[in-house]
Amino acid sequence: MGLKIWLDNKLVDETDAKISVFDHGLLYGDGVFEGIRIYSSRIFELEAHIKRLYESAKAIRLVVPMSKDKLIRAVEKTTEANGVIDGYIRLVVTRGVGTLGLNPFICEEGRLFIIADNIQLYPEELYEKGMKVISATTVRNHPLSIPAQVKSLNYLNNILAKIEALDNNVPEAVMYNHEGYVAEATGDNVFIVKNGVVFTPPVEAGALEGITRGIVIKLAKEEKLEVVEKNLTRFDLFNCDEFFLTGTAAEVIGVVDIDSRIIGAGSPGPITRLLRKKFYQYAHGKKS
């Protein structure tokens, strides 16, 4: 049996969850989305994800065709209907069915769908050993073209950088903005540690305001670590003591090599491991 998918205002069988080829989400990548975790049957930071979805939609003048409260219930119902204990939710709002022209305002009402499924994780070994990354030559979209805070369906900028990573046999690439400062990775936020201080680029550098990023900043401060949001260069990454990425799917993962420069001792450092542990405990509702 297939999954139950939430489509517009009800659950349908996977085989009946269909979107038109005239939907501008498909024709133009015109829409917004969220990726959300389920840990031990609890939907992680759902309200923060819903808030971000509405803010993304507002920025692109897309009306989410459902109230926030109803949307929260729809996400919960979809999770329950599929019996997902530990998994991943994809919540998508498209511009809706339009013509072949660009005009979004003649589209019918936006379409909304929710998928709750299992998640394909990075192998455990990668968390223990840390990952290699490269610097992408693809420059992050200029914030005056598409603000990075908008989690839009148009991910080509990130996909081009991801292709560079995969061509180099590594899973992730760091993207730099038009000024040469670190923006983010293709699907994760960037953190480094230098002399015991945790640094991450400000959102204005071209990063999505990651929900995992926000939690990791909070957890680091609870551990009495200094956290500084500041522009970082490629040189800063090469010469840091620790390097890690954060994201809903990846959680907290150490980086041990960028462009063949070894980070620290070549394995995830103590602050990375501490924050990964704290994040795990927080996500699973455990106290230390």
Which residues have a catalytic role annotated? 151
255: its two tokens = 């980086």
Segment lying near ligand PMP (by CB under 6 A), choices 8-16, 104-112, 121-129, 181-189: 181-189
Compute the least distance from the CB of residue 211 to ligand PMP, in Å: 4
> Among residues 211 and 253, whose Cβ is nearest to ligand PMP?
211
CA–CA distance, 206 with 210 (Å, rounded to integer): 12
Binding of ligand PMP by 247 (CB under 6 A): yes
Binding of ligand PMP by 87 (CB under 6 A): no
> Among residues 135 and 158, whose Cβ is nearest to ligand PMP?
158
User: Residues 211 to 240: which contact ligand PMP by CB under 6 A?
Assistant: 211-213
- Nearest one of 204, 205, 199, 258 to 234, comparing CA atoms: 258
Compute the least distance from the CB of residue 100 to ligand PMP, in Å: 29
> Among residues 7 and 208, whose Cβ is nearest to ligand PMP?
208
> Among residues 4 and 248, whose Cβ is nearest to ligand PMP?
248
CA angle 169, 174, 177 (to 5 degrees): 145
- Nearest one of 94, 83, 89 to 18, comparing CA atoms: 94
Compute the least distance from the CB of residue 97 to ligand PMP, in Å: 26
User: How far is residue 176 from each of residues 184, 205, 207, 231, 242, measured CA to CA in Å?
Assistant: 7, 8, 10, 11, 19
Residue type present at position 181: Y
Contact between residue 178 and residue 238 where contact means Cβ atoms under 8 Å apart: no
Binding of ligand PMP by 56 (CB under 6 A): no
Binding of ligand PMP by 158 (CB under 6 A): yes
What are the beta bridge partners of residue 97? 23
Contact between residue 287 and residue 157 where contact means Cβ atoms under 8 Å apart: no
Binding of ligand PMP by 152 (CB under 6 A): no
Compute the least distance from the CB of residue 276 to ligand PMP, in Å: 14
> Among residues 27 and 205, whose Cβ is nearest to ligand PMP?
205
Q: Angle 68-81/46-59 helices, nearest 10 degrees?
A: 130
CA–CA distance, 46 with 5 (Å, rounded to integer): 18
Segment lying near ligand PMP (by CB under 6 A), choices 122-130, 136-144, 207-215, 276-284: 207-215
> Among residues 23 and 184, whose Cβ is nearest to ligand PMP?
184
CA–CA distance, 174 with 160 (Å, rounded to integer): 12
Kindly report the three-state secondary structure assignment for every residue of 8-46.
CCEEEEHHHCCCCCCEHHHHHCCEEEEEEEEECCEECCH
Segment lying near ligand PMP (by CB under 6 A), choices 54-62, 110-118, 126-134, 244-252: 244-252
How many residues bind to ligand PMP according to rule CB under 6 A? 14
Binding of ligand PMP by 248 (CB under 6 A): yes
CA–CA distance, 150 with 207 (Å, rounded to integer): 10
Binding of ligand PMP by 82 (CB under 6 A): no
Give contact residues for ligand PMP (rule: CB under 6 A): 35, 158, 184, 187-189, 208, 210-213, 246-248
